[in-house]
Structure 1
Amino acid sequence: MAMRGLEGEDLKRGLHELIVSWENIIREAGSLEAAEDTLLHLEENDENFHKHDFVRALKRKLEECLSPLIDDELDKYSTTGHIDSGSHETLVNQIIDHIIQSKQYGDMKRKLGRNMNEAVDNLLTNFDREFGIGRVIGAAEGIDPRKTPFVTDDEEVSSFNSLYDQGSVMLFNQDYLKGIADNLSKSKNPSTRREAMQKLNQIISGDIHNKHWPVLRKNLMDVMSDSDDQLSELSLKFVAKSFTCTSHHTSQVYILLMEFLCRQFTTTNAAIPLVKNGLDCANKTMAKFLKAFRLMVEFQQEAPNYWVRYPLAYLEEVVESSLNLLALQTSSHFPNTKLCPLHFVAVLDPKAQWFIKWMVESALRYCLDFSASRKTSYDGASEISEALSKVSLVPADSGKRLYFSGPELEYALFVHSLSFLGRLLCFEKGRSFFPMRLKEKQVPVNIKQLLKALVLLIVDPGTSTTGASRRTDKNIYESSYLVAEVFKSLCSTEALCSASVCKDDIMNALLSPVAQLLDGATDGPIPSEAMLLHVADILCVIASSTTGRRHLIHGEGKGLLSRTKSSAAHLIAEFTKKALSDKLSPPCPSAVTGAYLYVCRQLYNTCEGLLVLSQYELHTCIAQTWRKLQDSEKGTSSAASSTKGDDSEKYKDSYNMFSWKDTLQDNLLNFASTAKGILLLQQTGAFNECVRYMYSRYDKKLQVSKCEKFGYGYMVTQVAATAPGIQALESTGYIRALLSELWSSLECVPQDTPVFTPKTWPVDPVDRSSQKHFIRLVNILSAFPAVYELIRGEALPARESYGLRDVPETITVGISV
């Protein structure tokens, strides 16, 4: 019987590969019992279990040997005819017993057992050479590597009749770890230290934290600081391997890494370059620092996934050691400032993802309490705040390079600081850090001053690319785009928006580009399209909340009954009206006009907003612009057939015109959100066209904007409450579509269920999927004008029976059914 892959060197090679794959499982196991349990259920939990050579060879041999036996047994029982379902289990047991007692299975089992015993005995005899962990601290120490480093359980390993009979797992004793710790001392020669470091990298991470850890920790610190490249590389490899373990002792290794980095920045002979000289990643020392900081950043990003299972002391140790490093500052003044830890972190993680992940976990909000309790004069948050005042607005290249100039390092630190502060201010305890005193300023910086500085970065003409459109790429590092994104996230925080953002001086600074265009000032640079779009996006977020919308309408500290023209709403409405009428110099692009028109739309969607903006007659301006586009579209379509040119340019122009026309019609339709708005919409003469547009959006199932809370269903109810509105809805086919959907939902059940017979009604309860269609129909008929217009003069049809396909097309037919 051929045993291909299950005998000789092939079997030994397959077993060696399988055992080596267990390394991480054994290292992460907290005890011998846990390791045994994991190995016993390896086939269930390891998706790569069947990819091992030994497992594939064993599976192939079992199929080769047992498949004919199983087929014979099945053929034998299949000739007996019908088998009761109750006897299936007994039949399966009988087939299994016959196969196990067969001669073929017995021969295969005995031969495989002999081959396995020989292979396992050979691996145990040559264990040191096969697995490379037996060459320990050497004969000079007088330690026998076969007896000292390992301990095994009491089970006999000579019999290998079954894989599940083995309970042997090798563990390291403390004396072996003491020998490694001693060999890492400075007094040892480099080769001995390298060999000891290699052996340390093969120990389970959880086993190194015992009574010898203080000595090992001290010597590891010396190894990490050693000038020998191979030795320091092995030490970083040890840190990386320890971070893959989920033991709560991992925090000790993280603290070791933080103290090593702190020592590099606090010693007088440290080779830390100046900021103006840049960062050369090809330099060996800088490459070593970057590797260490990368381990730090990766640990910070992964730790929140599991550290909630550990005690609070674990969190305190990680946060304390991290702040100790990030709080380090150089004493020299610019331009002789040296690189600080935040520069390295900013290069590796410019968007501060580590801090964002920390704040995502609710348990990690404790970080803010713990950080606030620190009594240091300048902590990491103050260092990050200070970076905003040193920013050099030079966009950094996103490509992979080996050298970063001084301005690029400062810009990376600015981006990191911006993301950090943006996340910090989203939480109440984070805002408690302010006012914050900086080391070079006598007056502390409060939240209001910080927000005003962010606004100035947005409206600064030097921060936006001229003519740039709205950006959506998450990896873009343009300063105005980044600041605008952070500011929008702050405005979406209700508490911060009402307490700090909704202030007249901040709003005046934000609207300064709009005021400049309205005044026609030419003494300065003209605001770019990108800048105006950033301001409009921020205003949209502010107007989406009740507090922000009232501030835009009435101003700071004003009540609902106040009548002032100094509020932001008046400035925005006047700018939008002039932009629609082409009375601005230079004219605004349609994207900018549409963005500010959307801000006005969020205001006139409400009664108080419409009361303030009604004097600007935006509905008339929108309708006139929309009709001009319709006329120009007709002229363009007639002229296009007689002219030849670039088809792509024509298509682009026609698409932009069509999109702009839909935008205008959509904003005009939104006047129907209020009763007075419906009256204004009727006065424009475009009421029926807007209702048809609303039905087309309903038919296409289009979604509303992210800044809107309600869809078009609310406007349908408002429109249906008027006689002209319900007539327009009926003429578009909206009522017929609602009746058709309701009938299909009641009679034909959901679409994913095959229909054979109609449901029995009214015995069967109404399906929940039909309730939405009922509510839509009830909302339309909730006002008397709608009911009157739909059933006035209509006689109820009388029929003896209705078929499944007799779908009602009018309200009267639906009532009679």
Structure 2
Amino acid sequence: MSQFSSEDEAELQSLLRELLKSVKDRISGAPSVECAEEILLHLEETDKNFHNYEFVKYLRQYVESSLGAVIEEETENFTRGDGHAIGTGQDTLVHAVTKRTRESAKYKQMMQTLKQTMMVVVESLINKFEEDQLKKEEMDRKSQHEQSSSHYTDNCSDSDSSFNQSYAFIKHEQLQVIAEKLDPSRPREVRLEALQSLCYAPPSDVLSCESWTGLRRNLSAALTDPDPELSDKVLQFFAKTFSSSPLNVTKDIYSSIAKSLEAHFLYHKLSFPSGSTSIDANRPDMARLLKQMRLMNDFQKEVTTFWIRHPEKYMEEIIENTLSLLALHSEQGMSSPGSEKSLEPIHLISLLDIKATWFKKWMHGYYSRTVVLRLLERKYKSLIVNALQQCIYYFDSCDSVREETLEIIHSLEHQQIGPARRTLYTSKELEFVYFVHSLCVLGRLVMYTNGRKLFPIKVKKRRDPVTLTDLVVILINIMYQHPKPSCVETTHADSLSPTNLVMEVLRTLCDRTECAVECLYKIPLIETLLAPVITLLKGKLPKLNSLESALTHTADTLARIATTERGLSLLLYDRNLVSAEGESISAAHVIVQFTQRLLAKELHVFSELEIPPAVSGAFIFVCRQMYNTCEGLQVLRPYSLHECIAKAWRTTSSMSERVPTPVPGAPPAMASQELQSVAAWEEMLLDNLLNFAATPKGLLLLQQTGAINECVTYMFSRFTKKLQVSRCEKFGYGVMVTQVATTAPGIAALQSSVNLLSSPHAVWELLGHRALPNKAEYNLREMATSVLDLMDRLIIINSDAKIHSLFNYEQSHTFGLRLLSVLCCNLDSFLLLESQYNLSELLLQGQRDNVTEPPSGEGEFIIDGLSVERNHILVRIGTVGGPYERRLPSRALQKGNDPYPWPIVSTYPLPKYYILDVPKTLRTKQGIKDN
């Protein structure tokens, strides 16, 4: 295939055209022809689909057919050694074969043929381009005469062909003509024609031309033109620029849109809907503003992915233009309900981006967050003031407004703006989306140190500035005002619910130590959280729209506070709360008293209400975060909470046991859903009982309840499923298992589930007075099922039958010796094992047997993993003291001629090498202590 036929040239031309179409976006975005050439030259490095293009596959096949024989011949020559001397290695061989191939005559012939053919193909493409251009210009002239309202075009360098468009480069003179045609004094048809031509041109050429300043001014004028077709064409050009231009270009476009909107809102007051009136998104002026704001918002959310690669001044310009626009706020906007207000930019962006995703993304990275916070502090603090004022307004609003929240949430949950979609929005909906947007902005702001420094903030109708604590108290009160869910809405996902939004903020603050210290660990906040609880303890019903929801969220927040040392101290020791009896007590006492009443069902105000077990479980969980620690258990111990939980567990357990066996045809005694609820409540109580085992004293209390066996069984079932202990504990069950295993009742309960030997009590319970099986034969499939079996099969290997029963004797026995080393760290455990199984003699015999067999004389000790491990155990059990009194041999070998310099122990007493002389200074100090 050294020569190309006419069919090959036609195929190459088609494949090359397809390749250029595939990369047209890259080429059209290039600022110059030279840049476009560089893009094509480095296409293999930048395009992951390079080797999938048909043109590339065709060239690869051509090269293989032309040079395949040459490459194979050269490779054979080198592998036989017939070629020049080369180094070893595949890379060296490849380089050598490549060099010889490129020096061959066939390679030169192939390259010459390929160059000539490609020149013909490219020349043919250029001629085709010129023909298409002439046809296009002729069609444009005819079209202008026949139908002036049809597509308006200019004789700039573009074509209907996507291939030709991708190679279109507009001249500066043509751009100057377009700028003149876009002048507001020109007729509508002329301006529309210029905009159509501008949309065909590459944005990089437009933005780099000398007439860009005037062109930008005229584009801004067209953007505000009442004619929707003109403004839509400008937005179309701006959108194309955003998607294909670098930040130094798109920032100018973004600034144009922002300043255009700012000027519109400054000089054209838009009335805010009142009463039953609504704003119509299809109204021409409103549709134009929403489209511009949508384009801005989409750019705001995408720009964070690449602005760090550009100078900070570009980012700062974008941020400042945004904040300047959103900070526009008339005096009427802060007035009381009922007075005339103006529609502002913040209302539109709240409608388009309800949860302030743009602000969250800008605050995520330190690079942009620093600029945002600096500008908010110095120039645009009014934006935060207005957001705070909106949250206060929602909190102070009348009950009728809050009762309509569910209806508003339902209407906004899936709202979209556009054709054939919802277009009317009432004043209450606008106020609500502004509140949600403000809440999300404030929640993100207080996450960061410099954001919290903006507080306290002075707002209208409040004598004192609003502090961080005041803000969180307001948010908690908003959470308490959660409207009663209706039956229809129970399955509706209300991600816009004020309660859920507030809880997101509170959880975020709890998870960040600095935020929690400054915002949550305050007495006023704890008082607000516990206000409904104290009211219930007094026998009164608090004024809450949803008692169950409020109590559950309160308990969730208190539990998160109690997980930290400082938060726990605040709950346990700050006695600033007034109890139902009128005495000053800490929050912990209020919580445990309320929990006791819930478990005993002694709250009379609940007699008419059905409070689900979830509420009781939530408050038990708060107590659990306290009694998981020694300090918390000491404070809660007088209340005998473990007995209350155990009593409730037994009651629930008996209920589930009394459920009769279902009989076909008979009505069920208890619904399946109710059965599941009872089972879940029983499991929850058992789980909380189990967590008393987190401390030694708590383990004693758990043992006194008589439920330790059930708790351990439950723990093992969760452990085998690899379930987390709870949403607040970051450790697994290992700590708790270790705690349980330190007592005789605990290890007895663990024996059926897990096997731990962490204390002499556990060793005695499992191995005391128990002889080893020492069978004559062991089945290969016989597994160890107890601690005694483990000792027999892996540790005390005293017969060939035990050795042959292990698939890998050395590894298995090493594991057993490591376990024995841990056991022998406790003197009581070692003495028990030594008295029953004579461990020392067994280990010494193993060392004596592990020698070479020379023709004459005594053999030398073999240094392997088992002899090293046995040596370590023998020294450990044969000496006592610390690092100044004995020298323990290492378990690892050393580099050099003597890899194991420590003497091998095969008899007692131990070599003196391992026993250190006590320094005189230590002896003197010891003598002084004895005197």
Verify same fold: TM over 0.5: yes
Give the superposition deviation at 1:666.
Answer: 1.7
Distance 1:742 1:197 in 2: 88
Q: Any residues of structure 2 matched to 1:136-215 within 5 Å, and which?
A: 171-172=169-170, 174-201=172-199, 202-205=201-204, 208-209=207-208, 211-215=210-214
Distance 2:364 2:205 in 1: 28
Distance 1:610 1:663 in 2: 19
Given the superposition, is the C-alpha separation of residues 313 and 59 from structure 1 closer, same or farther in structure 2, using an over 3 Å criterion? closer
What is the match of residue 602 of structure 1?
625
Matching of residue 371 in structure 1 with residue 398 in structure 2: no
Q: Which one-letter code corresponds to 2:414 in the other structure?
A: G
Give the superposition deviation at 1:264.
Answer: 1.9
Q: Which moved more, 1:248-257 or 1:70-79?
A: 70-79
What is the match of residue 678 of structure 1?
699
Matching of residue 120 in structure 1 with residue 126 in structure 2: yes
What is the match of residue 438 of structure 1?
459
Give the superposition deviation at 1:257.
Answer: 0.9
Secondary structure of the equivalent of 1:704?
coil
Supply the RMSD in Å over aligned alpha carbons: 4.8
Distance 2:183 2:362 in 1: 37
Give the superposition deviation at 1:236.
Answer: 0.9
What is the match of residue 293 of structure 2?
293
What is the match of residue 238 of structure 2?
239
Distance 1:406 1:223 in 2: 30
Give the superposition deviation at 1:7.
Answer: 5.7
What is the match of residue 659 of structure 1?
680
What is the match of residue 265 of structure 2?
265
Secondary structure of the equivalent of 1:511?
helix
Q: Which one-letter code corresponds to 2:235 in the other structure?
A: L
Secondary structure of the equivalent of 1:279?
strand
Matching of residue 381 in structure 1 with residue 381 in structure 2: no
Q: Which of 1 and 2 has higher RCO (CA within 8 Å, sep 6+)?
A: 1
Q: Any residues of structure 2 matched to 1:472-551 within 5 Å, and which?
A: 476-522=495-541, 524=543, 527-551=546-570
Given the superposition, is the C-alpha separation of residues 269 and 363 from structure 1 closer, same or farther in structure 2, using an over 3 Å criterion? closer
Distance 1:646 1:131 in 2: 85
Distance 1:446 1:170 in 2: 59
Distance 1:645 1:626 in 2: 29
Give the superposition deviation at 1:583.
Answer: 2.8
Q: Which one-letter code corresponds to 2:620 in the other structure?
A: L
Distance 1:744 1:24 in 2: 71
Distance 1:790 1:719 in 2: 22
Given the superposition, is the C-alpha separation of residues 757 and 679 from structure 1 closer, same or farther in structure 2, using an over 3 Å criterion? closer
Decide whether the 8 Å contact of 1:186 with 1:222 is kept in 2.
yes
Distance 1:13 1:543 in 2: 71
Give the superposition deviation at 1:456.
Answer: 0.9
Give the superposition deviation at 1:221.
Answer: 1.3
Decide whether the 8 Å contact of 1:513 with 1:527 is kept in 2.
no
Given the superposition, is the C-alpha separation of residues 74 and 509 from structure 1 closer, same or farther in structure 2, using an over 3 Å criterion? same
Decide whether the 8 Å contact of 1:721 with 1:784 is kept in 2.
no
Give the superposition deviation at 1:660.
Answer: 2.4
Given the superposition, is the C-alpha separation of residues 525 and 197 from structure 1 closer, same or farther in structure 2, using an over 3 Å criterion? closer
What is the match of residue 809 of structure 1?
none
What is the match of residue 313 of structure 1?
313
Distance 1:356 1:745 in 2: 58
Q: Which one-letter code corresponds to 1:712 in the other structure?
A: Y
Distance 2:738 2:654 in 1: 31
Give the superposition deviation at 1:37.
Answer: 2.8
Given the superposition, is the C-alpha separation of residues 492 and 530 from structure 1 closer, same or farther in structure 2, using an over 3 Å criterion? same
Q: Which one-letter code corresponds to 1:226 in the other structure?
A: D
Q: Deviations along 1:751-807, whole A, 9 cap, x unmatched?
A: xxxx99677799xxx9xxx99x979995x98777877888885654959889xxx9x
Decide whether the 8 Å contact of 1:579 with 1:588 is kept in 2.
no
Given the superposition, is the C-alpha separation of residues 495 and 254 from structure 1 closer, same or farther in structure 2, using an over 3 Å criterion? same
Distance 1:403 1:646 in 2: 51
What is the match of residue 328 of structure 2?
328
Distance 1:653 1:776 in 2: 51
Q: Which moved more, 1:24-33 or 1:317-326?
A: 24-33
Given the superposition, is the C-alpha separation of residues 787 and 182 from structure 1 closer, same or farther in structure 2, using an over 3 Å criterion? farther
Decide whether the 8 Å contact of 2:278 with 2:425 is kept in 1.
yes
Give the superposition deviation at 1:319.
Answer: 2.0
Given the superposition, is the C-alpha separation of residues 104 and 509 from structure 1 closer, same or farther in structure 2, using an over 3 Å criterion? closer
Distance 2:548 2:345 in 1: 37
What is the match of residue 858 of structure 2?
none
Q: Deviations along 1:497-524, whole A, 9 cap, x unmatched?
A: 2233223332222223333433332585
Given the superposition, is the C-alpha separation of residues 101 and 277 from structure 1 closer, same or farther in structure 2, using an over 3 Å criterion? same
Distance 2:209 2:794 in 1: 69
Give the superposition deviation at 1:417.
Answer: 0.7
What is the match of residue 693 of structure 1?
714
Q: Any residues of structure 2 matched to 1:682-721 within 5 Å, and which?
A: 682-721=703-742
Given the superposition, is the C-alpha separation of residues 626 and 269 from structure 1 closer, same or farther in structure 2, using an over 3 Å criterion? closer
What is the match of residue 250 of structure 2?
250
Q: Which one-letter code corresponds to 2:561 in the other structure?
A: I
Structure 2: any 5+ residue segments left out of the alignment? 82-89, 146-153, 159-165, 395-400, 416-421, 578-582, 757-783, 796-805, 850-865, 867-872, 878-931
Q: Any residues of structure 2 matched to 1:341-360 within 5 Å, and which?
A: 341-360=345-364
Given the superposition, is the C-alpha separation of residues 7 and 289 from structure 1 closer, same or farther in structure 2, using an over 3 Å criterion? farther
Distance 1:328 1:276 in 2: 26
Q: Which one-letter code corresponds to 1:121 in the other structure?
A: N
Q: Which moved more, 1:88-97 or 1:179-188?
A: 88-97
Give the superposition deviation at 1:227.
Answer: 1.5
Decide whether the 8 Å contact of 1:672 with 1:681 is kept in 2.
yes
The two structures have a TM-score, normalised by structure 1, of 0.79
Distance 1:505 1:785 in 2: 54
Q: Which moved more, 1:459-468 or 1:725-734?
A: 459-468
Give the superposition deviation at 1:259.
Answer: 0.7
Give the superposition deviation at 1:428.
Answer: 1.7
What is the match of residue 442 of structure 2?
421
Q: Deviations along 1:462-484, whole A, 9 cap, x unmatched?
A: 3666899999x6x6112212112
What is the match of residue 586 of structure 2?
567
Secondary structure of the equivalent of 1:588?
coil
What is the match of residue 40 of structure 1?
41
Distance 1:417 1:444 in 2: 18
Give the superposition deviation at 1:619.
Answer: 0.9
Distance 2:832 2:445 in 1: 57
Given the superposition, is the C-alpha separation of residues 288 and 385 from structure 1 closer, same or farther in structure 2, using an over 3 Å criterion? same
Give the superposition deviation at 1:256.
Answer: 1.0
Give the superposition deviation at 1:322.
Answer: 1.1
Distance 2:533 2:16 in 1: 74
Decide whether the 8 Å contact of 2:66 with 2:106 is kept in 1.
no
What is the match of residue 157 of structure 1?
none
Which structure would you say has the larger Rg?
2
What is the match of residue 411 of structure 1?
432
Q: Any residues of structure 2 matched to 1:613-692 within 5 Å, and which?
A: 613-636=636-659, 639-642=660-663, 651-692=672-713
Decide whether the 8 Å contact of 2:689 with 2:711 is kept in 1.
yes
